[in-house]
Chain A
Amino acid sequence: MSIHATPEYLEALRKSAPMLRVEGLRKSYSTPQGAIPVLCGVDFTLAAGASLALTGESGSGKSTLLHLVGALDDADAGEIFLDGVALTLLSERARAALRREKIGVVFQQFNLIPSLTVAENLGFQARLAGRYDAAWQDELAHRLGLAALAARYPEELSGGQQQRVAIGRALAVRPSLLLADEPTGNLDEATGDNVLALALDLVATTGCAFLMATHSQRLAARLQRRVRLDGGVLAAQ
């Protein structure tokens, strides 16, 4: 069963508390040469159904921010509220549960599981979260043009196809928050545009919050809002 959100429904979502709220986030990496500050107080909010493009130079900390928001890494200071829950208060187990149930991540390198087929990859997180929905997965596969590839293994796919599997996997779980780290980095312009269009369409259909890191101003322009990461803080664009 799929949800085809009505405008009223989306409006109601936007009015409610933001899906993601980030306050005073700081992060530095410790290296033998000393600590490298990457994020120096990042604040922003993102409502359900909204989309935000994160731009910035290479090495500015985009991936770092996405990892923190995705409950994959710990911040040094500051707080992230996901659907009203403060991430720092969660145990490892609870964070894992949060990741599988609420967050969909599209990694720059796809990170498909090479030992599983396309179909298994698509359904993996959803099954893990215990909300596998065959009809929804079929629909996703269809719309991503993956239906004919279901029995193949990632290594037998082209880069663009793998990218689409990665996006499908993130959406199959119906996440509250979709994170994408340069999701079109490895694609040619046309394919990249197509994939993004699909992602945006699906985001609109499922009503999740969408945060995408990208180098491309052109792609960033297609999202509702844009922010730029510079010197460890966000600047509106």
Chain B
Amino acid sequence: MTLLAGLAIATALWSGVQALNAQARNSYDAATAAISGGGGRMLLAARGGLFEQDLFVKLRRAGVEVSPVLEGASRIGDKNIRIVGVEPVSLPRRSPIAHMRKRADILDDFLTGEGRAFASPQTLRRLDLAEGAQPQTERGRRLPPLTALAEAPPGAIVVDIGVAQRLLDRPGKLSRLILADDAALDEARLKRVAGDALRLVAADDDSELARLTDSFHLNLTAFGFLAFLVGLFIVHAAYGLAFEQRLPTLRTLRALGVAAPNLVAAMACEIAAFTFVAGGAGLIGGYAIAQALLPNVARSLESLYGAQISESLTLDARWGLSGLVMAGAGAVLAAASGFAKTMRLPPLSVARPIAWRAAHHRYLRRQAAFATIALVAAICAYDFGKGLASGFAVIGFSLLAAALFLPVALAGFLALSENLAHRPLARWFFADGRQEISGLSLALMALLVALAANIGVGGMVEGFRQTFTRWLDARLVAEVYFEAATPADARDIEAWARGQPDISAILPVWRAKTRIDGWPIEIVGMTAHETYSAHFPLIEATPDVWTALHAQDAVLVSEQLARRLGVGLGSALDIPTSRRDWRARVVGIFPDYGNPKGQLRVDHEELKRYFDDASGVHYGLRVSPDATARFIDNMQRRFDGAIARILDQSELKSMSTEIFERTFAVTAALNTLTLIVSGVALFASLLTLSDMRQARIAPVWALGATRRELAALEMIRVVAFAAGAAILATPLGLFMTWCLVAIVNVAAFGWRLPFQMFPTQWLMVFLIALCAAILAALIPVARLARAAPTELLKVFSNER
């Protein structure tokens, strides 16, 4: 029973996380494939960003079959959407939305009159819009009537290319060209027709989302695996106990002449059956977990990366199979020692009383040996490199080492206490506790791992939260942020704002996009102002950073970008601009937490000069704080349609904080699940052990201790064990925090957080451990306390 439950829980946690990952990846693929049909090739602006429609015309004239696409972000109400402009007539056949060509009625509507906007039914539901609705975007542009189209990519609205250019305010611009399958185009020909403005890429290479979100998914996978490991501890413990219980039967069977391989074969069949039952149950559980966590994951992926994840789980056979394989592997791993023991079981073995002391010492030596091996592995992994994988390996191996070492530490502590104790019951308590360690050790190890993970991850998240909040305060200094609908609107508002007495500064925060080494990079302009020079947080900077930034060819580089490109202060950076590369000197490195894209900060004037397609609509305003609310009101009334979005500082902060919280909600949920699982493991082990405990307790009871005293001692013992695990978990958790902060985060996200400690959190985890232990022990101990004398007496009549 425990075995099944353990295996099912382990599989559920693992497959749940896998389901989330698969779902997200499918959605990314769907997003690109929905337009281009997956596979194939396409053309992108060589310097990143958008390119001129002329290039498309040139290529068509040269006889190259290409289909234009313009994509861009927009908002309807407070929901983010992606506007995708296509030209249905030239879309390659492989594109899923190409089939609308066959429906002449739709096609006509799409191309003529006010046009049509296609969205998947799910997107319509999310936007809370019915077919035929014509919502306005944040730029005040009205969409063509919406039509449901199942093939439309999640979170996107597909419109005609011309409509998209108008909606996105990008007249005459394109973001990519999809090549027909049979289009004869090679680099040389492309160069002849389009110069070096475009580059040819395979569609699969470009799943930008897949690239950006890689680390997010790796994190999820790592936690899923951790949870699976904890589950495996249960399976192993349960199988070990079950095996011990049936050892006499096995002995008898062997004595009756059944060959060991036959026994193993029978046990293997049984394990296979277990795998199917538990694996099946685990898959259902995994589905439930994924279903429960999906909205959170989807929202955090959306707010972090702008990725739209379909919220109805669609899973394929591969997922189910991988879950079953994991379950099977777990079962085999757990049962392996049992199989080995069965093979070695002599046909005639005298039923000797179990020599626990010898076994205990053997066991402790083995644990210590394995712990040492795991420790060495951890050290090797640390030396090996600073990558994500080695970071997780260091964490994994050190958790394992500590877990394996736990029984040794507990045994040592108990031996010491036994020597110090005088009262007979106390001595027995400690001596007997040592005997119980091996039975409970797997559950305790699972608890230790879960507690350490909670302290480790909790510390990292809390440290991040504090750093993030402080950073946000320094970063968001302007009182009001607004986004104009168009650059022209922006100039109107700017002109008006100049005459306003409440405004002390107008800070354009224009943005442009480029790519360096294939990574998407955002370039943000800054004007010379105290807002930045006095507040903008920098990790490292040359002494004259602010004057240099505005007076010379200089940039500030975000921490993660600097790390990725391997640049430091004083390095020169070649930035692809609209025309030529701009060589600028790095004068400062700033933290940019939570931003998956690289960011460069440059002087506002330089941005305007080098990037034709700079957005020109984002602004920050310094307004005297008490006038802010009135000012926003005023501005909204005056420029209604010209303002895409206006936010005051606190709104923007709470939005950012919310994104942050959501990102870690999943981690927290998995962490809690892991803890619950380890609690269940402890409970299951205690329950299985309680028969054995009765046999241990009966002699002491017979010699004159009350059941209540003994039950209390049982409870104290379990609680003491849990406390021991919690105490060991604290330094281990700290080490894990350090690994996460110094290795994993740096490798995954490119930023390094200061290492902080949170003793109150340790106390919480300690208390949680005690509560978990008390809860887990409650039923077994109550059973003991109420055991009928007849029950206890059985121990004396039964052969043990």
Q: Which residues of A contact B (CB under 8 A)?
A: 29, 63, 67, 70, 72-74, 92-93, 96-101, 105, 107-109, 111-116, 120, 123-125, 127-129, 153, 155-156, 169, 181
Chain A's closest residue to B797 (CB) is: A63
Complex contact A128–B705 (CB within 8 A): yes
The complex places the Cα of A27 from the Cα of B136 at a distance, in Å, of 88
Complex contact B700–A113 (CB within 8 A): yes
Complex contact A92–B707 (CB within 8 A): yes
- Among A70, A127, A181, contact of B424 (Cβ-Cβ < 8 Å): A127
Q: Mark B43-85, 1 if CB is under 8 A from A, else 0.
A: 0000000000000000000000000000000000000000000
Complex contact B800–A109 (CB within 8 A): yes
Q: Mark B411-437, 1 if CB is under 8 A from A, else 0.
A: 000000000000111011001101100
Complex contact B796–A100 (CB within 8 A): no
Contacts A73-B789, A113-B428 given: A128-B704 contact, CB under 8 Å?
A: yes
Asked if B357 is an interface residue, CB under 8 A from chain A, the answer is yes
Contacts A116-B427, A116-B428 given: A72-B793 contact, CB under 8 Å?
A: yes
Complex contact B790–A73 (CB within 8 A): yes
- Among B428, B431, B702, contact of A111 (Cβ-Cβ < 8 Å): B702
The complex places the Cα of A119 from the Cα of B244 at a distance, in Å, of 30
Min Cβ gap A45→B in Å is 24
Min Cβ gap A135→B in Å is 18
Contacts A74-B789, A108-B796 given: A100-B698 contact, CB under 8 Å?
A: no
Interface centre among A74, A93, A112, A125 (most CB of B within 10 A): A125
Other than the given A113-B432, A116-B427, A120-B424, 11 more pairs (CB < 8 A) read A92-B706, A93-B706, A100-B705, A113-B428, A115-B428, A115-B435, A128-B424, A128-B704, A155-B353, A155-B356, A181-B796
- Among B703, B707, B799, contact of A128 (Cβ-Cβ < 8 Å): B703
Complex contact A96–B706 (CB within 8 A): yes
How many residues of B are in contact with the other chain, CB < 8 A? Answer: 36
Chain A's closest residue to B433 (CB) is: A115
Complex contact B698–A111 (CB within 8 A): yes
Chain A's closest residue to B698 (CB) is: A111
A-B pairs, 5 with minimum CB distance = A100-B704, A115-B431, A127-B424, A99-B704, A111-B699
- Among B353, B698, B704, B790, contact of A125 (Cβ-Cβ < 8 Å): B704
Complex contact A153–B699 (CB within 8 A): no
Interface centre among B427, B702, B703, B705 (most CB of A within 10 A): B703
Contacts A74-B789, A115-B432 given: A97-B427 contact, CB under 8 Å?
A: no
Min Cβ gap A124→B in Å is 5
Chain A to chain B contacts (Cβ below 8 Å), 11 pairs: A63-B797, A92-B707, A100-B704, A108-B796, A109-B796, A113-B432, A115-B356, A115-B432, A120-B427, A124-B428, A128-B704
Complex contact A114–B424 (CB within 8 A): no
Min Cβ gap B426→A in Å is 10
Interface residues of B in 468-494 (CB under 8 A from A): none
Asked if B1 is an interface residue, CB under 8 A from chain A, the answer is no
Asked if B355 is an interface residue, CB under 8 A from chain A, the answer is yes
The complex places the Cα of A175 from the Cα of B792 at a distance, in Å, of 22
The complex places the Cα of A113 from the Cα of B703 at a distance, in Å, of 11
Complex contact B424–A123 (CB within 8 A): yes
Q: Which residues of A contact B425 (CB under 8 A)?
A: 128
- Among A97, A112, A181, contact of B699 (Cβ-Cβ < 8 Å): A112
Min Cβ gap A114→B in Å is 6
- Among B354, B699, B706, B708, contact of A113 (Cβ-Cβ < 8 Å): B699
